[in-house]
Homo-oligomer: A and B are copies of this chain.
């Protein structure tokens, strides 16, 4: 039996933050109020979020940290390793390749691709940079379902199309463009400049 109601996206993002908080926790038990405080949200929000996945707490006591952690990881699909490929071996791709947060959360980078002949074949932080024409092969061989797109804006849609054709079902896109993908593919776009721009707005003049 899968989940009854679709889980709101904001809830998913917060759950991941709760995971971080739980991992840093020393005590055996934690209350929704404590999680909420650490995450900067309302305590009812925390309980509501958790309720999408089941009942984990003990009234009058709180949540067992280890139990909650394990349960949430499983529900979020984070209880196993996942293979990821990175497309684009420029400055950003290079930084992402050994971003510690990926490995430590079970995302294993199994391939780095670029179409710049000057980069192909060379090693980048321990990974051999491969040409685009090996994309489909590697993705199929290694059962990759997630990809990180760190290529220039104009190349992003083509790269996305190729990845999807090769069987990738989730894209983390760093190019400042709205990618068109079929329904069965999920895209998250992280636009680094966008965030700075909204900060500029809030500064006023």
Contact = CB atoms under 8 A, between A and B. Distances in A.
Contacts of A102: 192-193, 196
A77 B192 contact: no
A9 interface: yes
Contact of A39 (B148, B178, B192, B199): B178
Contact of A195 (B95, B98, B176, B190): B190
Contacts of A190: 190, 192, 195
A105 B197 contact: yes
Contact of A178 (B40, B76, B170): B40
Given A16-B194, A196-B84, A91 B99 contact: yes
B92 A99 contact: yes
Contacts of A145: 203
Number of copies: 2
A165 interface: no
Interface in A161-205: 169-172, 176-178, 180, 186, 188, 190-205
A27 interface: no
Interface string A82-104: 10100000011011101101100
Nearest to A105: B193
Interface residues of A, number: 57
B170 A76 contact: no
A78 interface: yes
A13 interface: yes
A191 B196 CA distance: 14
A199 to B, nearest CB: 4
A50 interface: no
14 contacts: A12-B198, A16-B191, A16-B198, A17-B194, A38-B178, A77-B201, A82-B200, A84-B196, A99-B192, A107-B196, A170-B202, A172-B196, A172-B199, A190-B190
List 3 A-B pairs, minimum CB-CB distance, nearest first: A95-B95, A170-B199, A101-B193
